[in-house]
Amino acid sequence: MQKNMNIQMKLFEVEAGKKEKREETCRTCKHRQRWEYDDNGKILQYCGIRKSNRTMNGLLKIKCKNEACILYQKINNKNSSK
Ligand code: SF4
């Protein structure tokens, strides 16, 4: 019984606080969208695939410097510096 408990503890062992930081950001993700608003000239960035119920368009508001999430896909073209 004790041996089974030790095996189970090893199977589900999680190291706390060891999250690897990604180098990629939302800036180079192909899902990033730039929305330009005519009324005030403001430009906001949204994620095209992550939803939010806090924005008027239903998309998650992001910043270019945000660390990339698990859905990240790198842009292929070279004009990604906007
Ligand atoms: S939140 Fe994720 S999927 Fe959306 S733009 Fe950023 S990295 Fe890409």
pLDDT means per 10 residues in the chain (82 residues)?
Answer: 69 70 94 93 96 96 96 81 55
* 28 within some domain: yes
* 52 within some domain: yes
Within the chain, what is the greatest distance between any pair of CA atoms? Answer: 69
- Separation of 13 CA from ligand 1 center, angstroms? 29
* 5 within some domain: no
* 2 within some domain: no
What are the phi and psi torsion angles at 60 (to 5°)?
Answer: -75, 125
* 77 within some domain: no
- Separation of 57 CA from ligand 1 center, angstroms? 16
* 60 within some domain: yes
The residue segments making up the domain with residue 48 are: 22-67
* Closest to 59 measured CA to CA, from 38, 77, 34: 34
pLDDT value of residue 9: 67
Tell me which amino acid residue 42 is: K
CB atoms within 10 A of CB 15: 6
Structurally, how many domains does the chain consist of? Answer: 1
pLDDT value of residue 58: 97
